[in-house]
Structure 1
Amino acid sequence: MAFLRLSSPHAHGPQRTSRVMLWVILATLPGLLMQTVFFGWGNLINTIFCIAVAVGAEAAILALRGRPIGFFLRDNTAAVTGLLLGLSLPPFAPWWVCVVAVLVAIVLAKQLYGGLGSNPFNPAMVGYALVLVSFPVAMTTTWASPLGAGSATPDLLQTLAINFGGIDPVDGFTMATPLDVYKHDIGAQLSTQVLQHPAFGDFVARGWEWVNLAFLAGGLLLIALRIITWHIPASLLAALCVMSLAFGWDADRYTPLSIHLLAGATMLGAFFIATDPVSAATSRRGKLVYGAGIGALLYIIRTWGSYPDAIAFAVLLMNFAVPFIDHYTQPRTYGHKKARRVKPGNS
């Protein structure tokens, strides 16, 4: 029998996967609540629906593979994948977009590679990126207008009819995201004029800042509970700040830093998506490099790419680099010091 060789020290961790995933779910609830308050029922409906589809798809694939269904479903990873997609997809995304995104995430990006622990890419972001590229109209024209923007907010039944009944959301229910508005309008207007758009409120972006602050609070809770470490979120946000201050200091040409931080999916991405323990870098130095790469790519794609938000693409691109990063950031074996270099002529 072959044994896995690991260096000391050896410690037993009390955290089980199911418990960790449960804390992740609980930590996203403040952000989901803010999404529901400011953007209506859409994200809550999508979240419940995506979780149900994810759990069902995982159970079906496990049955086809002859694996114990209950044992693997109890780790809650399928539920977290569905949760992240429900939080990320537009509130009025058609039901079939949600189904395609979830099936791609669970079947292709996770189970096809062997299940939990074997997937090289973040499953939720694989599903999100595929539907964004494949169905651009459905993914860019179904964002809800924020509360207080002067637009109507559909009730629960109206939202269900839009998402599952095939009814197109009227213009009064939808609005472009703040990142999209600023990126496309700043070329012809001054920043003061762009900020008069209803998507921007008195603070940063109407409703979006509270959603991001809620996800920030949930992420800090995960750090406090040692579910995740600070390395990836801190380096991601630091790199995004450095890139924005270096290249986007002129608000009349580029999106300002405040909007980058609080008007998109930045905090959700930094604390809940980039920190995926399977597809992210593992060493402390590696996590810093990994997070910084995501932050830099996030700014580059948002500013000069075709998409106003770029969490999915930035995370997936850095997933490609994880084996390289882990190889060159391996920590020294415990108890061993770096070899001293002997100067020429000394014995």
Structure 2
Amino acid sequence: MEKFYNVSSSPHVRSKTSTQNLMLDVIIAMIPTSIWGIYHFGVNSLVILVATVAACVLTELVYQKAMHKPVTIADLSAVVTGMILALNMPPQVPVWIPVFGGVFAILVVKQLYGGLGQNFMNPALAARCFLLISFATFMNNFSFSNGAASFDSVSGATPLASLRAIHKGAEAASVYSLQDLFIGNTPGTIGEVSAVALLIGGIYLIVRKVISWRIPVCYIGTFAVLTFLFGGFNAEYVISEVCAGGLIFGAFFMATDYVTSPITEKGQYVFGAVLGLFTCIFRLKGASPEGVSYAIILSNLLVPLIERITMPVAFGIEKVKKEEKKA
């Protein structure tokens, strides 16, 4: 009788879930807000979406071919990066800007750090912040015409800009209704305006178990509570802040990135709370009415610390430490 155990190398637990399957679910979840953005803002939104995705995929392909590395475009992660970046673009932005951002996202933030799983911040978010700093005039121009609705440079202030004016004591007449904010009849970036489309996608990801509810719920919940406390105890104002801008989009599609968010359950709660705190500070006290992108990137940098303080103690370790202290 054989007295030795047969021990194989890891992984010992196998799953049919693959990176490609996960990324495909994320793509499907972004379809509702993509369709609304194209319908609401017109064909230029579709051009931006297609061009940005193509730039991300081609950049990854060319880099990996040039560096003689395995080509991984089939895992669809570059497609997801391109979609997230494109949906964060104003509908009238020149196409070359998101294309340039796509190259930056894949080449600088993803591939130069070792590829998928090695980047310390979300590539699409990093690219968006890079574009905001480099091309501020284009990235903050939300005037729009020729789509299902028109917003000129005067009346086209984003909902967040209007809410910021009210918070500082301006007239309340320019605020969009909650119905407009929920449906998406407002100016803004291509993928952030329709709260209902984003919630459909977010719920799909949770039901499919692609993401956990902890980060988005803690993020939005913390932000709502802090905004209520420090924004004038106005429930309608809080709901408007939640539905306006990129908060819902960021909570479900960017803050939950596997690579740049905590893996521990307690860490996810902490991460969501930190995101809510930073976003509230940036929106209520910062120079810009938005703040989601910067809040997520700043929180990404804190993930190693969050994981360190929330990592579960191995069974028996705590007892050994107590015994060592007694000795």
TM value normalised by structure 2 = 0.86
Q: 2:161 aligns with which of 180, 200, 223?
A: 180
Task: Return 263-272 or 182-191, whichever deviates more.
Answer: 182-191
Q: CA deviation at 1:188?
A: 4.8
Cross-structure match for 1:207: 185
**Could you tell me the TM-score, scaled by structure 1's length?**
0.81
Q: How big is the shift at 1:281? A: 1.1
Write the deviation string for residues 90-143 of structure 1: whole angstroms up to 9, x where unpaired.
111112211221111111110110100100111000000011011111011145
- The amino acid across from 2:13 in the alignment is A
Indicate yes or no: 2:49 matched with 1:56.
no
Sort the Cα spacing of 1:282 and 1:188 in 2 relative to 1 into closer, same or farther, 3 A: same
Q: Equivalent residue of 1:216, what SS? A: helix
Equivalent residue pairs, number = 312
Structure 2 residue matching 1:79: 3-state secondary structure: helix
Query: Is 1:248 aligned to 2:211, yes or no?
Result: no
**Runs of 5+ unmatched residues, structure 1:** 153-169
SS class of match (1:110): helix
Tell me the equivalent position of 2:296: 315
Is 1:229 equivalent to 2:212 in the alignment?
A: yes
Distance in 2 (CA, whole Å) between partners of 1:228 and 1:202 is 27
Tell me, yes or no, if structure 1 residue 46 matches structure 2 residue 48.
Answer: yes
The one-letter code of the counterpart of 2:144 is: A
In 2 relative to 1, CA 62–241 (structure 1 residues): closer, same or farther, beyond 3 Å?
Answer: same
Q: Tell me which residue corresponds to 1:288.
A: 269
Contact 2:202 2:253 in 1 (8 A): yes
Distance (whole Å) between structure 2 residues aligned to residue 107 and residue 182 of structure 1:
37
Identity of aligned residues (%): 30
Give the whole-Å Cα distance in 1 for the aligned partners of 2:27 and 2:67: 27
Give the residue type in structure 1 aligned to 2:216.
Answer: P
**1:80 is the counterpart of 2:77:** no
Matched, 1:139 2:122: no
In the alignment, what sits opposite 2:319?
A: 339
2:219–2:273 Cα contact (<8 Å) kept = yes
Distance 1:143 1:43 in 2: 14
Structure 1 counterpart of 2:84, which letter? Answer: L
**Matched residues in 2 for 1:181 and 1:26: separation?**
32
- d(CA) in 2 for partners of 1:188 and 1:82? 39
Residues 263-295 of structure 1: CA distance to partner in whole angstroms, max 9, x if unpaired?
111111111111010011111111111111111
For the Cα contact (< 8 Å) 1:280–1:287, is it kept in 2? Answer: yes
AA at the equivalent of 1:49: A
Q: State the Cα distance separating 1:33 from its structure 2 match.
A: 1.5
Counterpart residue identity of residue 203, structure 1: Q
> 1:81, 1:124 within 8 Å by CA — same for their partners in 2?
yes
The 5-angstrom pairing of residues 105-120 of structure 1 reads: 105-120=105-120
Equivalent residue for 2:5?
none
Between the aligned partners of 1:106 and 1:42, the Cα distance in structure 2 is: 23
User: Could you tell me whether the CA contact under 8 Å between 2:198 and 2:249 is conserved in 1?
Assistant: yes
Task: Report the CA distance shift for 1:104/1:48 in structure 2 as closer, same or farther (over 3 A).
Answer: same
Matching residue's letter, 1:114: G
Residue 36 to residue 201, structure 1, CA distance change in 2 (3 Å): farther
Alignment check: 8 A CA contact 2:64 2:70 kept? yes
CA contact (8 A) 1:212 1:265 kept: no
CA gap 1:74/1:243 in 2 versus in 1, 3 angstroms: same
Give the whole-Å Cα distance in 2 for the aligned partners of 1:146 and 1:308. Answer: 26
In 2, the alpha carbon distance for the partners of 1:20 and 1:119 equals 18
RMSD: 3.0
